[in-house]
Amino acid sequence: MPSRITLIPDGRLTAVRGVVEQRFRQAGDAVCTEGFGDFLDGPMRSVFCEALRHAGADEGTVWLLDEAREALVARFNNGPKAAEFVNSYRQPLRLGLISMVVAMEQPMCENTMHENKGHDPSLPRRLGMPTHAMLAVPFYFAGELRGVLSAVQVKERLPEAAGFSPEALGAWQAAGTILAGLIERRLLGDILGLETAS
């Protein structure tokens, strides 16, 4: 039977733990800005896009809380109209289903968006792309809730079996955890001056 790996904290590092944690959270704040899309490297983008494909989604968005924590801002999207709303569209936290995900810190799967009274159709209307179904999960990294990851099926691109399964929601949550881990690994590498292989 293989031996269990046990890593013991180094006292020299635990002595500065508070400083590292504070800097880690500050670094998390710093990437939740217009430069977030540039911060996402190849492996991060691959995790995001492959998880969307696996879930049966047409596209997805990383929504991050603004500095005042009053709105979600679209910071990354892999769809054809990303340039029309990324870094410019703000979803007030008092409106919409993704805002409910922030308030409740619970994942959501909605397969009949047009029937849900909590759905805010402002962005789909603006883009001319009505949403049929959505997965949305809370997105945590660097010690805090930072926003929401959403995956959508667009009405004009509906597959034969439209809608998301509970398994797709679980996979989307797992993708969020993996993406957060990659972000945190890079943040720690940057603030500690460590080389991290991509």
pLDDT above 80 for 183 = yes
Using one digit for the tens of pLDDT, what is the confidence trace for 75-91?
Answer: 999 999 999 999 999 99
Using one digit for the tens of pLDDT, what is the confidence trace for 133-162?
Answer: 999 999 999 999 999 999 999 877 665 557
Using one digit for the tens of pLDDT, what is the confidence trace for 20-48?
Answer: 999 999 999 999 999 999 999 999 999 99
153 pairs with which residues across the strands? 133
Which residues touch 40 (CB under 8 Å, ≥6 apart)? 48, 76
Residue at 41: amino acid letter: D
Domain layout of the chain by residue ranges: 15-192
* CB neighbourhood size of 118 (10 A): 13
pLDDT for position 117: 83
Question: Rounded to an integer, what distance in angstroms lies between the CA atom of residue 62 and that of residue 60?
Answer: 7
pLDDT for position 158: 60
Which residue, among 58, 52, 65, 57, has the nearest Cα to 98 in the 3D structure? 65
What is the architecture of the domain spanning 15-192? 2-Layer Sandwich (3.30)
**SS3 letters for 54-104?**
HHCCCEEEEEEECCCCCEEEEEEECCCCHHHCCCCCEEECCCCHHHHHHHH
pLDDT above 90 for 112 = no
Question: Rounded to an integer, what distance in angstroms lies between the CA atom of residue 108 and that of residue 110?
Answer: 6
pLDDT for position 195: 74
Q: Could you tell me the pTM of the whole model?
A: 0.90
Which residue, among 147, 98, 104, has the nearest Cα to 122 in the 3D structure? 98
pLDDT for position 198: 54
pLDDT for position 95: 93
Phi, psi of 76 (to 5 degrees): -155, 140
Supply the mean pLDDT for the chain. 91
Place of tokens 């997965």: 135
* CB neighbourhood size of 48 (10 A): 23
